[in-house]
Amino acid sequence: SAKMMLEWLGEARAAKLLENAIAKTLRDKRFLTPDLGGNASTKEFTRAVKKALRNSA
């Protein structure tokens, strides 16, 4: 939903960076939450996405 909001606001580059960061975090599999078959908390998943964003900007 955050990606869609960024696109609606005309922030296509930011939306793509966010999408890529989430995809990278999901592929990594170390920070998956229980609903995705992992053990990480939502806080840990969010931190991993933030780190991926920082590394891609």
Residue 19: what pLDDT?
Answer: 98
Residue 25: what pLDDT?
Answer: 98
Residue 37: what pLDDT?
Answer: 97
Counted domains in the chain: 1
Q: Is 39 exposed, middle or buried (0-12, 13-18, 19+ CB in 10 A)?
A: exposed
According to DSSP, residue 34 is labeled G
Residue 14: what pLDDT?
Answer: 97
pLDDT digits (tens, 9 = 90+) for 12-56: 999 999 999 999 999 999 999 999 999 999 999 999 999 999 999
Task: Name the pLDDT band for 7 (thresholds 50, 70, 90).
Answer: very high
Provide the domain limits for residue 6: 2-56
Kindly tell me if the per-residue pLDDT of 57 is higher than 90.
no
Long-range residue pairs from 47-52, CB within 8 A, at least 24 positions apart, any chain? 49/18, 49/21, 49/22, 49/25, 50/21, 52/20, 52/21, 52/22, 52/24, 52/25
